[in-house]
Amino acid sequence: MSEKTGLVAVTSRSFSTHPLLRQQLQKEYINVKFNESNEQLTGEKLVNFLQGAEKAIIGLELIDEILLAKLPDLKVICKMGTGIDKIDFKALNQYNVAFTHTPGVNKRSVSELVLALVFTLLRHLPAINANVKKDKWRQLRGTTLTGKVVGIIGFGAIGRDLAELLKGFNCQCLIYDVIEHNNLPPHVTQINLEKLLMNSDIVTLHVPLTLNNYHFIDKPQLSKMKKGSILINTARGGLINEEALYEFLQHNYLQAAALDVFETEPKVPLKLLQLDNFFATSHIAGSTEEAILAMGLQAIEGLKVATIPKIENYA
Q: Can you give the pLDDT of all 315 residues of the chain as single tens digits?
A: 445 779 999 999 999 999 999 999 999 999 999 999 989 999 999 999 999 999 999 999 999 999 999 999 999 999 998 888 899 999 999 999 999 998 889 999 999 999 999 999 999 999 999 999 999 999 999 999 999 999 999 999 999 999 999 999 999 999 999 999 999 999 999 999 999 999 999 999 999 999 899 999 999 999 999 999 999 999 999 999 999 999 999 999 999 999 999 999 989 999 999 999 999 999 999 999 999 999 999 999 999 998 988 765 555
Q: 138 catalytic, yes or no?
A: no
Residue 22, C-beta contacts closer than 8 angstroms, at least 6 positions apart: 15, 16, 32, 34
Q: 265 catalytic, yes or no?
A: yes
* 42 vs 275: CA distance, rounded Å: 31
Q: Which fold has domain 107-280?
A: Rossmann fold (3.40.50)
Other C-beta atoms lying within 10 Å of the C-beta of residue 305: 10
Question: Active-site residue among 206, 236, 242, 263?
Answer: 236
Q: 181 catalytic, yes or no?
A: no
Residue 172: per-residue pLDDT: 99
How far apart, in Å, do the first and last CA atoms of the chain sit? 33
Please give the helix or strand (H or E) that residue 261 lies within, else none: none
Residues of the chain with CATH 3.40.50.720: 8-103+288-314, 107-280
Question: Active-site residue among 13, 18, 101, 283?
Answer: 283
Among the listed residues 122, 26, 15, the one whose alpha carbon sits nearest the alpha carbon of residue 79: 15
* 64 vs 91: CA distance, rounded Å: 6
Cβ atoms of residues 139 and 162 within 8 Å: no
Q: Would you give the DSSP letter of residue 99?
A: E
Cβ atoms of residues 156 and 181 within 8 Å: no
Residue 313: per-residue pLDDT: 53
Question: Active-site residue among 194, 265, 289, 290?
Answer: 265
Cβ atoms of residues 249 and 275 within 8 Å: yes
Q: Which CATH superfamily is domain 8-103+288-314 in?
A: NAD(P)-binding Rossmann-like Domain (3.40.50.720)
